[in-house]
């Protein structure tokens, strides 16, 4: 049994489960059961759920159980659209702002991910994928953009990760990343933006195809 004593610790644990896809969209979150799991009263659980609702990770309505957020198709499409612009901006800025060491680290990470693809390790690729995108957010050297992009990515995390369950998606994702890396390495801002925008559009399409079965 996990033992947590503060609302913040509970929030972090539940957020991690949602982002990792352990708690799927639409999953009910029962205050009483969570209080028992974390060995606390319902008060810190209630506060943790309030914080998760404020961040958009769960939906919470009066006199009803909280649910892991499950945006409708229109809302999800809007989120992916914004994500595409934000990530493209990060990639474009990275093409001009990244240091030589940052560029090399990104290129090295991309090379490492090739081995993960060959191994067919979806969980490992998802983790490396997070690091890949985070490196590009950092490489933009714009703290506000970094925070905004990470926040939006967090909202979409369960849906972005789901794509890796599609046949052949790991290899295709790696190729798309390669286009982004190549543009950043040659400091081509427009190409980096275009490659990243295309990548996010494909991610959305891959998720939608998987969701439709």
Q: State the Cα–Cα distance between residues 172 and 162, nearest whole angstrom.
A: 15
User: Quick one: 104 and 167 in the same domain?
Assistant: yes
| Cα Rg of the chain (Å, integer) | 18
- Angle at 177 (CA atoms; ends 173, 181), nearest 5 degrees: 170
User: Quick one: 122 and 192 in the same domain?
Assistant: yes
Of the given ranges (23-27, 173-177, 198-202), which has the lowest mean pLDDT? 23-27
User: Quick one: 64 and 81 in the same domain?
Assistant: no
Across residues 193-209, what is the average pLDDT? 90
What does the pLDDT look like over 22-52, one tens digit per residue? 898 899 999 999 999 999 999 999 999 999 9
State the pLDDT at residue 40: 93
Across residues 153-163, what is the average pLDDT? 81
Q: State the Cα–Cα distance between residues 29 and 152, nearest whole angstrom.
A: 22
User: Quick one: 84 and 146 in the same domain?
Assistant: yes
Spatial strand order in the sheet of 28-29: 28-29, 66-68, 58-59
- Is 92 inside any structural domain? yes
CATH classification at residue 175: 1.20.120.530
Range of the domain at 28: 7-68
- Is 159 inside any structural domain? yes
Going by pLDDT thresholds of 50, 70 and 90, the confidence category of residue 3 is very low
What does the pLDDT look like over 78-129, one tens digit per residue? 999 999 999 999 999 999 999 999 999 999 999 999 999 999 998 899 899 9
Tell me: pLDDT of 5 over 90: no
Tell me: pLDDT of 211 over 70: no
| Sequence-ordered alpha helix ranges (H) in 65-142 | 73-97, 100-119, 122-139
State the pLDDT at residue 57: 87
Of residues 69 and 187, more confidence is placed in 187
- Is 2 inside any structural domain? no
């Amino acid at each position: 049994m996990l033992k947590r004593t503060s609302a913040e610790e509970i929030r972090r644990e539940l957020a991690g489960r949602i982002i990792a896809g352990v708690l799927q969209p639409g999953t009910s979150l029962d205050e009483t059961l969570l209080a028992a799991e974390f060995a606390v009263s319902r008060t810190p659980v209630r506060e943790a759920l309030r914080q998760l609702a404020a961040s958009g990770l769960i939906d919470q309505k009066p006199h009803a159980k909280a649910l892991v957020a499950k945006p409708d198709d229109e809302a999800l499409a809007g989120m992916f659209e914004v994500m595409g612009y934000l990530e493209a901006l990060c990639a474009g800025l990275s093409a001009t702002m990244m240091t030589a060491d940052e560029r090399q680290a990104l290129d090295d990470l991309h090379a490492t991910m090739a081995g993960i693809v060959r191994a067919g390790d979806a969980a490992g690729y998802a983790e490396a994928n997070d690091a890949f995108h985070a490196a590009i957010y950092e490489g933009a050297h714009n703290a506000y953009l970094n925070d905004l992009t990470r926040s939006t990515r967090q909202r979409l995390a369960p849906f972005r990760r789901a794509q890796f369950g599609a046949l052949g998606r790991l290899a295709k994702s790696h190729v798309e990343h390669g286009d982004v890396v190549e543009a950043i390495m040659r400091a081509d801002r427009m190409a980096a933006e275009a490659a990243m925008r295309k990548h996010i559009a494909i991610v959305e399409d891959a998720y939608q195809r998987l969701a439709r079965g």
